[in-house]
């Protein structure tokens, strides 16, 4: 997209409230002219109109949703669950994503995963996992938004990312521009949360200390001091990220594997989109890390319905 300047992103994305805050444009700029203010990109230097910022922007890429439908193309749909007790004890669904990351690690990939902050376990921080113990520690969904782009921008080869649809799309464009081999796993995502989510969850269970949260069928399950507390999701609705309303992608169309909750408890639904993704699944199965079975029609139809709801919401906000 040479010839397009950052002004395109400024007008079409940032000023409309559609900036996902992935920061891909900041790290793509060859002149380092973009800075971050209040979580958003701002032009602070000369723009050469090279178009790289426009190329990597996931919100700009998804500006036209007129041709979108359902969960997109995939080569295989399966249900999977981890065969590792250490993973099963920590996971929310089947723990399949952690087993896939472990398989990639053993194949020489460098996993980029979200860990809970040591001071605040509900707040995720992306790191390059340098051991299997760190990969297992990262098991479980992190609902507060965090971007892996600063980490990915410094990597030289064989990255394996677990991210959201918006960040996997940004990562795909950024890594392609730098010719870096990567496997991208996207988690299904209808919305994520601002950092204020952490404070609100603490208030909901005070004086207990929350250590983990999960969201199931419109309910918020909070684990705190050995207890489980159930709250309606609307209790934290004020912390939903507004940019998510502009995002049409529920499953992560730019990924090699999309992963989310299956209807059957204890299983993860996987949509395998590429040969790279299929190889990783087969490696995990061969290493005894993963058990597979076919996804049912009901499960695929449920995903398709959620895709259509998110698409309709995005189309409304992007008018």
Least confident range from 28-37, 114-123, 245-254: namely: 114-123
| 314 has a pLDDT exceeding 90 | yes
pLDDT at site 2: 64
Query: Can you name the residues that pair with 78 across neighbouring β-strands?
Result: 270, 294
> Token pair 């319905």 is at which residue?
305
| 102 has a pLDDT exceeding 70 | yes
SS3 86: helix
What tokens appear for 94 in the block? 């089947």
d(CA 256, CA 241) in angstroms, rounded, equals: 25
d(CA 306, CA 296) in angstroms, rounded, equals: 16
In order, the DSSP letters of 97-135 are HHHHHHHHHHTT-EEEEEEEPSS-TTSEEEEE--SHHHH
What tokens appear for 196 in the block? 């204020």
pLDDT tens-digit readout, 257-288: 999 999 999 999 999 999 999 999 999 999 99
pLDDT at site 303: 96
pLDDT tens-digit readout, 160-197: 999 999 999 999 999 988 888 899 999 999 999 999 99
d(CA 21, CA 145) in angstroms, rounded, equals: 9
Least confident range from 50-54, 80-84, 113-117, 201-205: namely: 113-117
Query: Dihedral sign, CA of 289, 295, 300, 306?
Result: negative
- Extract the runs of DSSP E, i.e. beta strands, from the chain: 34-37, 40-43, 76-82, 110-116, 124-128, 159-163, 182-187, 210-216, 219-224, 227-232, 257-261, 268-272, 290-294
Q: What's the rounded mean pLDDT across residues 32-43? A: 93
pLDDT at site 252: 97
| 1 has a pLDDT exceeding 80 | no
Res. 96 pLDDT band, cuts 50 70 90: very high
d(CA 198, CA 241) in angstroms, rounded, equals: 13
Give yes or no for a contact between 241 and 192, defined as CB atoms under 8 angstroms apart: yes
pLDDT at site 142: 87
Q: How big, in percent rounded to 5, are the helix, strand and coil portions of the chain?
A: 35, 25, 40
Mean pLDDT of the chain: 93
pLDDT tens-digit readout, 198-250: 999 999 999 998 888 888 777 899 989 889 999 999 999 999 999 999 999 99
Give yes or no for a contact between 163 and 156, defined as CB atoms under 8 angstroms apart: no
pLDDT at site 65: 83
> Token pair 């965090």 is at which residue?
146
Q: Would strands 40-43 and 34-37 be described as parallel, antiparallel, or unpaired?
A: antiparallel
pLDDT at site 122: 83
Percent of the chain with pLDDT over 70: 99
* pTM reported for the whole predicted model: 0.94
Query: Can you name the residues that pair with 80 across neighbouring β-strands?
Result: 268, 292
| 156 has a pLDDT exceeding 90 | no
Q: What's the rounded mean pLDDT across residues 48-61? A: 94
d(CA 62, CA 226) in angstroms, rounded, equals: 42
| 119 has a pLDDT exceeding 80 | no
């Amino acid at each position: 997209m040479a010839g397009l300047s950052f002004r395109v992103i400024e007008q079409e994305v940032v000023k409309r409230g559609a900036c996902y805050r992935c920061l891909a444009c900041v790290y793509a700029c060859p002149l380092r002219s973009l800075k971050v203010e209040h979580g958003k990109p701002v032009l602070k230097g000369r723009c050469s109109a090279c178009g790289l910022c426009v190329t990597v922007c996931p919100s700009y890429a998804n500006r036209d949703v007129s041709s979108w439908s359902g969960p997109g193309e995939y080569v295989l749909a399966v249900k999977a669950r981890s065969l590792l007790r250490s993973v099963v004890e920590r996971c929310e669904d089947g723990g399949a994503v952690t087993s896939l990351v472990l398989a990639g690690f053993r194949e020489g990939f460098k996993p980029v995963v979200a860990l809970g902050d040591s001071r605040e376990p509900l707040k995720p921080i992306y790191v390059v996992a340098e051991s299997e113990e760190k990969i297992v520690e990262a098991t479980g969904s992190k609902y507060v938004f965090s971007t892996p782009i600063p980490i990915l921008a410094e990597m030289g080869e064989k990255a394996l990312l677990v991210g959201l649809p918006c960040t996997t799309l940004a990562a795909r464009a950024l890594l392609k521009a730098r010719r870096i081999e990567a496997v991208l796993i996207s988690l299904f995502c209808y919305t994520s949360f601002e950092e204020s989510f952490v404070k609100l969850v603490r208030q909901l269970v005070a004086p207990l200390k929350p250590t983990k949260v999960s969201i199931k069928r419109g309910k918020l399950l909070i684990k705190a001091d050995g207890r489980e507390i159930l709250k309606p999701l609307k209790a934290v609705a004020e912390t939903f990220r507004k940019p998510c309303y502009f995002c049409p992608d529920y499953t992560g169309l730019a990924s090699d594997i999309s992963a989310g909750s299956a209807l059957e408890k204890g299983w993860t639904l996987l949509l395998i989109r590429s040969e790279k993704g299929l190889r990783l699944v087969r490696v995990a199965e061969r290493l005894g890390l993963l058990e597979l079975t076919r996804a049912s029609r009901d499960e695929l139809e449920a995903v398709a319905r959620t895709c259509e709801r998110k698409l309709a919401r995005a189309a409304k906000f992007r008018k």
